[in-house]
Amino acid sequence: MRKIFTDLFLVSLVVLLSFGIASYFHQALNPYQEVKEINLSFWHLPKYTFYSLCRGSFAFVLSFLFSLLMGYWAAKDNIAEKFLIPLFDVLQSIPVLGFLPGIVLFFVSIFQKNNLGIEIASIFLIFTGQVWNMIFGVYHSIRTIPIDKIECAKCYRFSRFQTFFSLELPSSVFSLIYNSIMSVAGGWFFLMITEAFQLGDRKFQLPGLGSYMSLAASQGDTKAIVNAALMMILLIIILNECVWAPLSAWSQKFKSEETSSSLPETSWFFNVLKHSWIIHQFQIIKKRIQGFFQNQKSKKEIKKPSEKMYQILRFTFLSISFLITSIAIYSVITLIKDVSFASWIGLFKPLAFTFLRVYIAVILGLLVMIPLGLVIGLSEKLSQILQPFIQMAASFPISLLFPMIIMFFHTFNIPLTFGSLILMLLGTQWYILFNVIAGAKAIPSDLKDVSNTFRFSSFQRFFSFYLPAIFPYLVTGILSAAGGAWNASIVAEYVHYQNHILTTPGIGSSISLAAQDNDYPLLGGSILMMVITVALINYHVWLRLYRYSEKRFTLNA
């Protein structure tokens, strides 16, 4: 009887989702209309929320596949690594407004008869806010796999395909899941920008939670703002219960340890899926398909073609990457050639202000989030109690609260010079926290037992055991947090409040003002200054930290 109700629940859920997705595509295929009318009535809010969920979900699927491909490629190919890791670090630091003009105009020009072009542009913009830390998580997880496991795979003559699915992907699960939570939060962070934006005299607006919130904020409709915030909280709870909590419980099977956890993570929805007859039948079909293909081809038959295909793909991707980069460099040079020397000099001061804010925010985040992440990640009981609330807090787009936060600053006369630092910190601290939690959860229980046996002091545990154990995850968290802070500068240093625009000196506000004034040369110049700064930091700091963590802090036998 329990299985019957479980399957009825799953079938009903699939049917409801199918109707919702059909409604989303129906409005996307309607005749072209740049500005969709937004109704601030509460009864329209569930539909708008689901449309935003669809865009975020499609962007996440694209981010997941792209991160597996690029993270694996960067980790396994030394030539590609030297090119891709600095490139992705630069791309994650480019604000959404840097991608927005080219992406929107490109897709709108392709799909001129319906709204599909604007929808794809919005999804792609959300993708640019999600994918980068996922790539770094996969890359570093593969790079830090213990040597004895790699040698074992070689001894059994695993193909690249077998090694990836049997060793490299399982080793990336912890980092991938916790960075996915932050990636989705990163997509929500810029929801208002990706659903309602303006290019010169052209205004684009899509039906969604972000555009609803943007309109409510511009009209000063407090009731609508509160309704949107409550709906966002409800959406985050549903995602946590139906997606992240089940994935977190499922990920425990990939933990590398010799002793079992005393209090394994659980999830009611994960238990529903485990007891479903339909899911069980899908698993049987999957095993039969896998068995069929394994019987058709032996290892020797697939090994050579697999290696040959890998080399072909490697050459193809490198060629495409170099081609796209060359085109981008040429486009930037063409764009910025009209920027005067005085304008270039004038960008150094705002760049310095934003640089200080970014790294003060990162340092403050480290001081708070490392101890908090260790406490949560090392305590299975606390993790089960607090992690759902932390996931909800991290997934909530702080940009939706900006009007209320700015109202608080205005009430207590807090200048945006300092307020923007708080806004950056609110949006980036979670990258550090979730990577620390992931690193703490990945520590084998037998090593914890050893530290208890030898009665390490708190000081010894932190500096000799916990910090080295989480260091590879911490590097990924700091890198993502710094990139996110650079990206968040465009909404932290340039804020709309009660039909007024509040700004503070910084490269983020320079980018936003250039976009507002339709000054594309200055926009390109501002972004280029940020890119050069991030690239230099990447080369002199992050890559060296990655190398150091690989050599010093891997669990090699």
Consecutive 10-residue averages of pLDDT for the chain (557 residues):
71 85 86 79 89 91 91 85 78 70 80 84 86 86 83 84 85 83 74 74 82 79 84 85 82 64 63 73 72 56 55 75 77 81 88 90 91 86 76 66 70 77 80 85 76 78 84 83 80 71 82 78 84 80 76 62
Q: Which two tokens stand for residue 339?
A: 């920027």
Helix, strand, coil: what percent of the chain each, to 5? 80, 5, 15
**Whole-angstrom Cα distance, residue 490 to residue 511?**
7
Give residue 254's pLDDT: 74
3-state secondary structure of 298: coil
**Whole-angstrom Cα distance, residue 65 to residue 131?**
9
Own/partner contacts of 338-343, CB < 8 Å, gap of 24 or more, are: 338/521, 339/521, 339/522, 339/524, 339/525, 343/522, 343/525
What are the Cα distances from residue 72, in Å, to 141, 314, 474, 544, 548?
A: 10, 11, 20, 19, 20
Q: Which residue has the tokens 């991938």?
A: 176
Give residue 366's pLDDT: 92
Q: Which two tokens stand for residue 285?
A: 């079909």
CA 549 from centroid of its chain's CA atoms = 22
* Domain range summary for the chain, segments of one domain joined by +: 31-256+264-275+339-552
3-state secondary structure of 27: helix
Q: What are phi and psi of 298, to 5 degrees?
A: -85, 170
Residues 301, 303, 307, CA angle at the centre, nearest 5°? 135
Residues 9, 12, 18, CA angle at the centre, nearest 5°? 140
Give residue 223's pLDDT: 86
Find all residues with CB under 8 Å of 128, minimum gap 6, and list them. Answer: 91, 94, 96, 99
Query: Is 34:205 a contact under the CB 8 Å cutoff?
Result: yes
Q: 117-141 burial, b for 16+ CB within 10 Å, e for fewer?
A: bbbbbbbbbbbbbbbbbbbbbbbbb
Note the pTM of the prediction, 2 decimals: 0.76
Q: Classify residue 362 by burial, with Cβ atoms within 10 Å: 0-12, 13-18, 19+.
A: buried
Nearest to 335 by CA among 506, 98, 86, 83: 98
Give residue 395's pLDDT: 63
Nearest to 406 by CA among 483, 473, 498, 528: 498
